[in-house]
Amino acid sequence: MKKLFIILSFLLLNAVYAQNIVYLEYFFDTDPGAGNGTSISITPAPTIEVNYNVNISALDNGFHTLFIRAQDEFGNWTFIHQNNFFKDRIPVDPFLNIVRLEYFLDVDPGAGNATNVPITPGSTIEEDFTADLTGVGIGMHVLYVRVRDEIGNWSFIHQKPFTKESILTELPDITGIAYFFTKGSFFSDTTLVTNFTPNDTIGVTFIADLSALTIDSTYNIHVYVINENGLKSLAYTHEVTVVPTGIEGLTLYPRKYELSQNFPNPFNPVTQIKFSIPKTSHVTLTVYNSLGQKVVDLVDKEFTPGFYDIKWKGSDVASGIYFYRLRSESFVSTKKMVFLR
């Protein structure tokens, strides 16, 4: 084994009259007497700074104390300076080959008695292995691993907690589907879906019961399944809006004002004019001749939102081009029509 050497760096000052320091010595643990320590070569000066390798090869491994003192040109000695240190051995080859890898579970059977993992010896190893868990029960356990080098030294033990669980070889059948709705603090009753055949994987289309919900409101629907063992899955959640369906009781409203082209066009003697009103407002529908003169007001009143059509019979006007204009407080539209006798 190599012996450890300490590199010393120290500064000594002569505190009295700044006389030259002419001698420097050190010793370990026990004072042999002034002048009897191991000398260190220096250049005399009032202040010295020395880097020196102290030989500790004669010392046993363990804790020791290094003492240092100096003498000036008049024979005066300084106070003794001391430094504690620990001596230990360093292997000649710090990278010994790892020759054995073993593991055990929960209880240590003793070094060398655990389950061996075949490896290729090397100073460092990286090994993947599968631990045999047949002898341990379901639940929490600890896996321990250690290695041994070529001269018989064992490493520290590395540990890894793990959980052993049973794995299902086949999935249980899904025997129930359930859903419910929420909105804020509102929770609907849970409804079961039964129109499917139990299986471990299912695909089902069903019509949810919305009777407890309010039209034109948004809810969250939560759907989960139940297996044959009575276990429930996590719920699938989706946002839905309740809208009316069917024709009975359903009223459609236009989103904007609109004036359609009359039909038929050209016409004789009657044509139909359609228009849409999105909100309650006062509306006029007026016919003008090609000179811009008013011919007739077909509409001049307040309308509620809806779709409307008006018929105009041109039996009392001459053939020619006419214009019809729809006007409200926020909308004006004009279109052309042709009357032929």
Domain made up of 174-241: CATH architecture: Sandwich (2.60)
- Chain-wide mean pLDDT for the chain? 85
Q: Radius of gyration over alpha carbons of the chain, in Å?
A: 51
On whether the CB atoms of residues 314 and 320 are closer than 8 A, the answer is no
Helix (H, G, I), strand (E, B) or coil at 123: coil
Share of the chain above pLDDT 70, in %: 89
* Separation between Cα atoms, residue 143 and residue 131, nearest integer Å: 8
Assess whether pLDDT exceeds 90 at residue 102.
Answer: yes
**What does the pLDDT look like over 1-59, one tens digit per residue?**
333 444 444 444 444 445 889 999 999 999 999 999 999 999 998 888 888 888 888 89
Assess whether pLDDT exceeds 50 at residue 150.
Answer: yes
Domain made up of 6-87: CATH architecture: Sandwich (2.60)
CATH superfamily of 258-339: Macroglobulin (MG2) domain (2.60.40.1930)
For 25, 31, 42, 108, 195, the CA distances from 38, given in Å and listed in that order, are: 5, 11, 13, 51, 100
> How is residue 297 written in tokens?
């007001």
* Separation between Cα atoms, residue 136 and residue 105, nearest integer Å: 8
